[in-house]
């Protein structure tokens, strides 16, 4: 089956620190990979995605590279802001099958001024 | 303007009652979902509809019944509410069967059972 494993949170950082949130996956088939962000009191929204090996998704200063050899899609940002405080979800989707994307358990990020 | 809208945003009710949550999407997507998010933020898929047809029904008590009157709407009715039903329920939609399409989520319905 498909699965996504994320590092457990919360991750607590000071403003302007470097962020890495690890994500590894297992998939039957060739997945597309996603990072979603959930701000307090809101729904999930797409942050970035990558659909094939070695693709890099990027948005709002966040980046993640699809690494097929290590089955990973780690999220990075060079300098976090207080406004980046949220829960981040790694997810995958495989063509065909049951249409259900597979989500990780989410990683809470807290950024202090 | 809202892409996926859910109503109500908050729902506080007593154990044993029956309630409904409505979801509408104006994106023209043909697949819609219901998720339950617990207090630890874990997202659990409940149902998925494709073109008004139920395609996924995970291990959800039969007190939960989805209904899709058309492909833009997916409602969730819950009978005999229990304390364990307290959670945030999210509706989502996605276009087609291609794996590279992301899901679009509503802002959630916060259900509290007294």
Token look-up 């979902």 returns: B33
| Contact state of A45 with B101 under an 8 Å Cβ cutoff | no
Question: Among A35, A43, A69, which Cα is nearest to A54's?
Answer: A69
Residues of chain A with pLDDT > 70, as a percent, come to 96
**B98 inside 8 A of chain A by CB:** yes
Residue B4's alpha-carbon distances to A59, A106, B57, B68, B108, in angstroms, are: 22, 22, 21, 15, 10
CA distance B77 to B66: 6
SS3 content of chain B, % helix, strand, coil (to 5): 5, 55, 40
**Partners of residue B11 on adjacent β-strands:** B111
Reported as a single tens digit per residue, the pLDDT across B35-69 is: 999 999 999 999 998 888 888 777 889 999 999 99
| Contact state of A108 with B31 under an 8 Å Cβ cutoff | no
- CA geometry: angle at A55 spanning A66 and A21, to 5°? 40
End-to-end, the C-alpha distance of chain A in Å comes to: 41
**A87 inside 8 A of chain B by CB:** yes
Which residue from A minimizes the CA distance to B36?
Answer: A43
**B101 inside 8 A of chain A by CB:** yes
The whole-number average pLDDT for the span B88-104 is: 88
**B99 inside 8 A of chain A by CB:** yes
Using CB atoms, which residue from B43, B48, B105 is nearest to A99?
B48
Reported as a single tens digit per residue, the pLDDT across A53-76 is: 999 999 999 999 999 999 999 999
Reported as a single tens digit per residue, the pLDDT across B4-42 is: 999 999 999 999 999 999 999 999 998 999 999 999 999
The whole-number average pLDDT for the span A13-34 is: 95
CA distance A1 to chain B (A): 15
Length of chain A: 113
Residue A99 has pLDDT above 70, yes or no: no
Residue A97 has pLDDT above 60, yes or no: no
Q: And the tokens for B25?
A: 């999407």
Using CB atoms, which residue from A32, A46, A100 is nearest to B48?
A100
Reported as a single tens digit per residue, the pLDDT across A76-89 is: 999 999 999 999 99
Greatest Cα-to-Cα distance within chain B, rounded to the nearest angstrom: 41
CA distance B79 to chain A (A): 25
Residues of chain A with pLDDT > 90, as a percent, come to 86
Task: Give the per-residue pLDDT at B57.
Answer: 77
Using CB atoms, which residue from A42, A46, A94 is nearest to B102?
A46
**A6 inside 8 A of chain B by CB:** no
Which residue from B minimizes the CA distance to A34?
Answer: B102
Task: Give the per-residue pLDDT at A98.
Answer: 58
Greater confidence, B50 or A35?
A: A35
């Amino acid at each position: 089956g498909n699965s996504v494993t994320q590092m457990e949170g919360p991750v607590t950082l000071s403003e302007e620190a470097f962020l890495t949130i690890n994500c590894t996956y297992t998939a039957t088939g060739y997945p597309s990979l996603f990072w979603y962000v959930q701000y307090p009191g809101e729904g999930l929204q797409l942050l970035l995605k990558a659909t094939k090996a070695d693709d890099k998704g990027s948005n709002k200063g966040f980046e993640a590279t699809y690494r097929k050899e290590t089955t990973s899609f780690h999220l990075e940002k060079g300098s976090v802001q207080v406004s980046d405080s949220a829960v981040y979800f790694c997810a995958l989707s495989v063509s065909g099958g049951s249409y259900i994307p597979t989500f990780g358990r989410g990683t809470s990020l807290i950024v202090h001024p | 303007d809202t892409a996926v809208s859910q109503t109500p945003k908050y729902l506080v009710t007593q154990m044993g009652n029956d309630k409904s949550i409505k979801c509408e999407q104006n994106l023209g997507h043909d697949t819609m979902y219901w998720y339950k998010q617990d207090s630890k933020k874990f997202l659990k898929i409940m149902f998925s509809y494709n073109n008004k047809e139920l395609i996924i029904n995970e291990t959800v008590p039969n007190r939960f019944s989805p209904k899709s009157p058309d492909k833009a709407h997916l409602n969730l009715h819950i009978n005999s509410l229990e304390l364990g039903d307290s959670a945030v329920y999210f509706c989502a939609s996605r276009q087609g069967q291609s794996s590279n399409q992301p899901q679009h989520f509503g802002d959630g319905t916060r259900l509290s059972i007294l």
